[in-house]
Structure formats: structure tokens, C-alpha cells
Amino acid sequence: MSLCGELTAKKYIIFTGTLVLAIVIYLFSCMGGSSSKNMSKPYVVAAQARHTATLIFLHGLGDTGEGWSQIFRQLKLKNIKCICPTAPVIPVTLNGGMQMPSWYDILSLEPQGPEDDAGINAAANSLRKLIVTEEENGISSDNVIVGGFSQGGAIALYTALTHEKPLAGVVGLSTWLPLNKEFPQGLKVNRDIPVFQAHGEHDPLVPIKWGNLTGALVKQMTTKHTFKAYPMMHTSCPEEMEEVRNFLNSLAKD
């Protein structure tokens, strides 16, 4: 039996509780709340060998960058440095205004419901600043990969599809494309960007139909889109992460 369906695979599990109040409250209470609205220093995992590419990976709602940094440390990526920032703590409307780490405010569960346009663009700009920092440190934008899980994946997808400089690739796990009414549109820069998208077949929080709709939309705009589904819920699993590792390694130079 595949480990994808097992919540006991602790080595790879990230269960962030996106969009469901009870689960988010549980996660946030486990972490302990912070009142700071500024992003804390990101978790960084060094490349195993020569650093030629950087992955910037954003966590899901109510989570932090620490768990994902541990996963990427276990993947032992040879030439890729991994940066896992933590979102600022803000009130989330859908969860009764409760404050938690969130890349932007979530206003509705409906695919056609209202979205936090300003917050989404602010989060995308924060990700762009991290990309610029890597450029200043000698890693060109076309050697920077952006990715994320759930809400973090939404920001990664949106940023990549609107970025004005070439990027190396995108990883979107159990996610969707925000502000999708603005798409499709002719991408001036990242039409040929490799995109790896994956989703749980039994995801009760971000249903796989959202992933399929997102995949169909992204496929209209890009030429190198891959979509994988796994027998799991709103989480990750060893099979998925092995695919992620292979995808990342295919983008990095020795």
C-alpha cells in the first residue's frame, strides 16, 4: 500500500490545515502565536555541493517554514540551496479574524468568491524580493525556482506567471492559481518555464478538482507543465517528494 494515504509517514507529512477552521486552530495552538506582522528570518538549507540554483518554497496557511526546511534537508539536494520563509502573522477573515501565519487574507472558499487582491500582490512582491536577494548573491533569476504548498503554492504560481524575468521552474503542491480571472494571458517571459504540480486525490480541504482546473489553466499558458495525483489527503508523501527531488535536480546545473 502506498504511503501517500498514511498520515503516519511523519518523515514527510505536512498537514497545514488550509481553509478549515478547526484544523488551523489546532496547528496554530501547537505553534504558539506571534503578534509580529513582519516575516521572520527564513530557514535555509545549504546545497550539498556547489550552489548553482536556489529554491524558495512557501508553506501553507498556519504553518511555518521550519517543517519544509527539514523535508528539503532530507532530500539532500546536491546543487540547490533551499530557502523556506515564514509568512507574517495576520488576521484571516475565513477563520473569524484569528491571527496566524498567512501569505494573504482568505475571504471565501468559493472558486468565484472574493479574493484579497492587495494581499496576494503584496505576498508576490515579498517573494520577488527574495528572488532579487539571490540575484544580488550571484544566482541569476533563471536559476531560481519558486514553489509552495497550498496557499504558499498559490503565491508561487501567481508570482512565476507574472514575473518579468525568467525563472528556472515552479513547484505547486496541493494548490490553486489565485486571481485566475486575470488569466490566461500571453506570458512575455515565463511561457517555457517548467511547472511541476501535484495534488492529493482525497484532499478534503483543497479538492483535487481545484488542482485539475488550475492545471488546465496553467497548461494553456506554459509549454512544460506536469501534473501528478497521489492517493493522499491535504498533505505530502514520499512518492511525491521523490518526484519533486527529480524535478528540482533536472533544473540545477552541476
**Amino acid making up residue 44:** V
Catalytic option among 163, 199, 225, 234: 234
* DSSP3 helix / strand / coil % (the chain, rounded to 5): 35, 20, 45
d(CA 105, CA 119): 7
Backbone angles phi, psi at 227, to 5 degrees: -125, 130
Is 234 one of the catalytic residues?
yes
With residue 172 as reference, give the H or E element that holds it. strand 169-173
Catalytic option among 102, 150, 174, 236: 150
Return the residue matching grid coordinates 507543465.
Answer: 225
Is 51 one of the catalytic residues?
no
Is there a cis peptide before residue 184, judged by omega within 30 degrees of 0?
Answer: yes
Is 203 one of the catalytic residues?
yes
Q: Are the C-beta atoms of residues 226 and 195 closer than 8 Å to each other?
A: yes
Catalytic option among 174, 203, 225, 236: 203
| C-alpha cell belonging to residue 164 | 518579468
d(CA 128, CA 67): 22
Q: Which residues are identified as catalytic?
A: 150, 203, 234
